[in-house]
Amino acid sequence: MRSAKGGLVAMLVVVTLAGCKSGTATAAGTEAGLGAGSGSSSSSGVPGLTVGTQTAYIQDPSLNNMNAISVTIPAKWIFQGTLIQGDSCSPTPYPVFRATSPDGLTFVERMPNLNWVWGTGPMTTQQTNGCLPLKQALSAQDFLKYYSQTLKYAYMGDEPVPDAVNGAAQKNVSDAQATFAAQYAAMHVAPPKMTVQMARARVQFMNGTFTMEGQLQASVLCTETQFAGFQSTLKGMASQPGFTMDRCTAGVRFLSTQQSSYQAMENLMDTDNVTAVDVPAWDQAYMNRSNQQTMKALQQIDANGAAQRAATNAAFAHAAAVRNQNYQNFMASMQSNFNNFENQQAQSQASRQQFTSDMVDFALDQQTVADPNTGQISKVSSAYGQTWTNTSGNTTSYFQTNNINANPNGVLPGTWVQQTVVHGDGTAK
């Protein structure tokens, strides 16, 4: 069995790559998620953007809500997130999150991962449920063009990835391959070929009456695994031809703000104001559970009897190698914002954006409301049927109730406007 530190190296490659500066993170929500700031807060010169940081913790519900990842975000920002437990295409749990500035006009999101698998042989067809319908490698820049189209955002152009960001991504892949090189050599099998590409794109969209600028950053991590096959020497047992399996995971970070604040936002995020790191105790607990499950499976195999193991020795050796390879792939495919988007096949671009954003609201126990006068959208609790806002002064106040006859005007200070419930992406229901 591998140690926790060694076993999570490949998984952390994806954590680092997919979120880049923001990493990947999920959360228990703002109640349990926000910790003390690690620096003082002061203005960056642009409304909604501050310097200084605070820490939110990401929890793993499958391990008794254990803190799994700590996420550093700008001071006074609001944090939301959740841990996605994976699917049949990529069973590795991965986090998504959103950090929002106090004025609600600037945010950074770690989006849900998108995966696709292709190749030859039976293992490929067994792992296509929940995957994108892609059967080839896709460059990170081409992926962002495809991705922005599904979101119905205007693709304004490519942006360069800082050398430090790309260099860190390449080093993580190189380190992961070096970590497992000895294990593959001991099994006399070729290690998977791993590649990573980074890309950035500038996009534009409307948020009510505001023209918003955004930056999509993608990392596309692909692995190609060669399975050697074997020549059967036992009567009645068929030979197994060699085959390959290719798997790609695309992680996306999304930054968004008002058009006039775009450069300040980019500078803020590129100075490590959003980072995510795994909690060592969770690393250990996650690996311990994986090792226990693997040991239990091996013990069950031993219980089948020495006679059966002797008769199927060649087949078992191959199956063990396949399990080991899949285990490496599993740990290497850790995949970041069940807030606005979901991992579905892109059959309808318009309905995809609306559906995934509604699912994000559902997962976070929130709803999206719009001001009928200004078009400004807000994310509020879904526990109430009526939401009112008061924009008097420099802040926005909220009043929520399940009493359809309640009206805070004349009872509470300020002018209150009843909000309209809309889809998670801001479109009318």
What is the number of residues in the chain?
A: 429
Cα 198 from Cα 173, distance rounded (Å): 12
Domain match, 180 and 227 both = yes
Domain assignment of residue 346, given as a range: 4-355
pLDDT tens digits for 336-359?
444 444 455 545 565 677 888 888
Q: What is the DSSP letter of 273?
A: S
Q: Tell me, what's the pLDDT at 34? A: 36
pLDDT mean values, one per 10 residues, the chain (429 residues): 35 37 35 37 57 87 90 90 80 85 89 89 67 88 93 94 91 87 81 92 89 93 83 72 86 90 82 76 87 80 62 62 59 50 52 82 90 89 91 83 90 89 87
**Is residue 41 included in any domain, yes or no?**
yes
**Is residue 319 included in any domain, yes or no?**
yes
Do the beta carbons of residue 341 and residue 357 sit within 8 Å?
A: yes
Cα 228 from Cα 87, distance rounded (Å): 27
Domain match, 402 and 335 both = no
Do the beta carbons of residue 166 and residue 189 sit within 8 Å?
A: no
Is residue 320 helix, strand or coil? helix
Q: Tell me, what's the pLDDT at 145? A: 94
Do the beta carbons of residue 100 and residue 255 sit within 8 Å?
A: no
Q: 262: buried, middle or exposed (CB in 10 Å: 19+, 13-18, 0-12)?
A: buried
Domain match, 297 and 236 both = yes
Q: Tell me, what's the pLDDT at 370? A: 92
As given in the structure block, the two tokens for residue 420 are 């309209």
Is residue 32 helix, strand or coil? helix
**Is residue 411 included in any domain, yes or no?**
yes
Domain match, 145 and 208 both = yes
Q: Tell me, what's the pLDDT at 95? A: 81
**Is residue 360 included in any domain, yes or no?**
no
Number of domains the chain contains = 2
**Is residue 144 included in any domain, yes or no?**
yes
Which of these three, 355, 376, 411, is where a domain ends? 355
Q: Tell me, what's the pLDDT at 39? A: 43
**Is residue 100 included in any domain, yes or no?**
yes
Q: Tell me, what's the pLDDT at 321? A: 64
As given in the structure block, the two tokens for residue 328 are 């490496």
Count of beta carbons in the 10 Å neighbourhood of residue 51 = 16
Do the beta carbons of residue 372 and residue 359 sit within 8 Å?
A: no
Domain match, 270 and 401 both = no
3-state secondary structure 59-95: EEHHHCCEEEEEEEEECCCEEEEEEECCCCCCCCCEE
Which of these three, 323, 355, 387, is where a domain ends? 355
Domain match, 408 and 334 both = no
Cα 10 from Cα 22, distance rounded (Å): 18
Nearest alpha carbon to residue 105 among 421, 339, 376: 376
Domain match, 374 and 256 both = no
Cα 383 from Cα 182, distance rounded (Å): 53
Q: From the CA atom positions of the chain, what is the Rg in Å?
A: 24
**Is residue 361 included in any domain, yes or no?**
no
Domain match, 286 and 320 both = yes
Domain match, 331 and 374 both = no
**Is residue 427 included in any domain, yes or no?**
no
Domain match, 288 and 389 both = no
Count of beta carbons in the 10 Å neighbourhood of residue 151 = 21
Domain match, 344 and 372 both = no
As given in the structure block, the two tokens for residue 376 are 């400004």
Q: What is the DSSP letter of 350?
A: H
Q: Tell me, what's the pLDDT at 59? A: 92
Domain match, 270 and 151 both = yes
pTM above 0.85, yes or no: no
Which of these three, 355, 377, 406, is where a domain ends? 355
Decide the pairing of beta strands 107-110 and 243-258: antiparallel
As given in the structure block, the two tokens for residue 122 are 């039976």
H-helix or E-strand spanning residue 347: none
Residue 300, C-beta contacts closer than 8 angstroms, at least 6 positions apart: none
